[in-house]
Amino acid sequence: MRKVLRALALGAVLVFFLFPIFWIVLMSFQTNEQILRLPPSLLFTPTLANYRALISGHLVTAAGVLDITFLRNLGNSVLLSTASVLLSLLLGVPAAYAFARFRFRLGEDIAFTLLSFRFAPPLLVLLPLSLYFQDLGLNDTYAGLIWVYQLICLPLILWIVRGYFEDLSPDIEYAYQVDGHSWGQAFRRIALPLAGPGIAAAGLLAFIFAWNNFVFALILASADKQPVTVGALAFVTASGIQYGQIAAAIVLSILPTLALALYAQRWLVEGLSLGAVKG
């Protein structure tokens, strides 16, 4: 009896959390007529027309041919997320090491200031920033966005990687330095490789958060710099778009992060708990 109840509960949980993804994937292979048919049916001849239209960039609608830039949005997402994470790693890993290994004046204050950026309402800085970006001509550049994306990536990387460095005993590094190696060599040859998994986990998580971000680009990016999250929304409101094409755009936007998540799930869980819990 207990077993049956447990199985039923698990089944309900799985249906609730997976059905939306399943259904949208299904829709993305349907024509408008199939989507509009009631009751909805699981049996239909799948079509690739939606994906073909998105990838070719030409939507044939009743009102004529519509040009869309969804692939460009996808490319922007890849570029923005990758560049932001790389920059964050470059800046964040040495800083994380400093906070983990050295007790220095203001160290803890600086670390907390950096962490607090994670928790402040983004629009507080984004709205004035949008005016500055116009003045500085940054609103039409990737560089400006990548800089602001550091607000998402840097605190995350800093705090996860710091936790990993703190868990490493400093003795090996000291012994290596006593052997006549410089601090830099000890950092590169000992600390970095040992903290490798943590750095990878943090980078991965930062990538996913950067990819999923919506509001930064909504406010700061000009039309040709927008990532998929913003692009997909514009898509819905455009007239003449077919529902199957929206579904296909959704599938293409979430596929990369879902695939990454499944591939690296163990690291992800550790990273998500921000090192608070060692599961």
Scan residues 72-131 and list those touching other proteins (CB under 8 A): 90-92, 94-95, 97-99, 101-102, 104, 107, 110, 112-117, 119-129, 131
Out of 142, 181, 192, 194, point to the residue binding other proteins (CB under 8 A): 181
3-class SS letters over the chain: CHHHHHHHHHHHHHHHHHHHHHHHHHHHCCCHHHHHCCCCCCCCCCCCHHHHHHHHCEEEECCEEEECCHHHHHHHHHHHHHHHHHHHHHHHHHHHHHHHHCCCCCHHHHHHHHHHCCCCCHHHHHHHHHHHHHHHCCCCCHHHHHHHHHHHHHHHHHHHHHHHHHHCCCHHHHHHHHCCCCHHHHHHHHHHHHCHHHHHHHHHHHHHHHHHCCHHHHHHCCHHHCCHHHHHHHHHHCCCCCHHHHHHHHHHHHHHHHHHHHHCHHHHHHHHCCCCCCC
Out of 52, 56, 172, 182, point to the residue binding other proteins (CB under 8 A): 182
For 37-64, give one letter per residue: b (16+ CB within 10 A) or e: eeeeeeeeeeeebbbebbeeeebeeeee
Nearer to other proteins, 137 or 279 (CB): 279
Cβ atoms of 253 and 81 closer than 8 Å? no
Stretch near other proteins under the rule CB under 8 A, chosen from 46-54, 62-70, 190-198, 209-217: 209-217
Nearer to other proteins, 37 or 58 (CB): 37
Minimum CB–partner distance for residue 2 and other proteins (Å): 10
Minimum CB–partner distance for residue 126 and other proteins (Å): 8
- According to the binding rule CB under 8 A, does residue 171 interact with other proteins? no
Site for other proteins in 8-47 (CB under 8 A): 9-10, 13-14, 16-18, 20-21, 23-24, 27, 35-40
- According to the binding rule CB under 8 A, does residue 163 interact with other proteins? yes
- According to the binding rule CB under 8 A, does residue 257 interact with other proteins? yes
- According to the binding rule CB under 8 A, does residue 197 interact with other proteins? no
Nearer to other proteins, 66 or 91 (CB): 91
- According to the binding rule CB under 8 A, does residue 208 interact with other proteins? yes
Nearer to other proteins, 59 or 114 (CB): 114
- According to the binding rule CB under 8 A, does residue 136 interact with other proteins? no
Nearer to other proteins, 30 or 59 (CB): 30
Minimum CB–partner distance for residue 220 and other proteins (Å): 11
Nearer to other proteins, 64 or 278 (CB): 278
